[in-house]
Amino acid sequence: MQSGISITESTLLALFTIVSLSLACWLARQPAKTSVGITLGVLLGLVLIYTTSALVAFLANVLPFGQIDFWLSNLVAKF
């Protein structure tokens, strides 16, 4: 069964999610008060995840992710 998302698109989403969560965790540790840190970390994480999801969705309409997957599979098959 084939899903509607390409490998390149899912890789970009995973990469951006890891970066977003890393930045949110870093920001959550900065303030002196725990409640402020948790609030800032959650807000930053949500904003970054939504923003990067929208960016990847936009890129999916602009870039041919299916063609990029095809090129990458051909490149890997040569090695």
DSSP letters along the chain, please? ---SS-HHHHHHHHHHHHHHHHHHHHHHTSSSSHHHHHHHHHHHHHHHHHHHHHHHHHHHHHS-HHHHHHHHHHHHHH-
pLDDT at 2: 59
Report pLDDT digits (tens) over 53-74: 898 888 888 878 788 888 888 8
Sorted by sequence, the CB contacts under 8 Å of residue 9 that are 6+ apart come out as 56, 59, 60, 65
Report pLDDT digits (tens) over 9-54: 888 888 988 988 888 888 888 888 888 888 988 899 899 889 988 9
Domain boundaries, the chain: 7-78
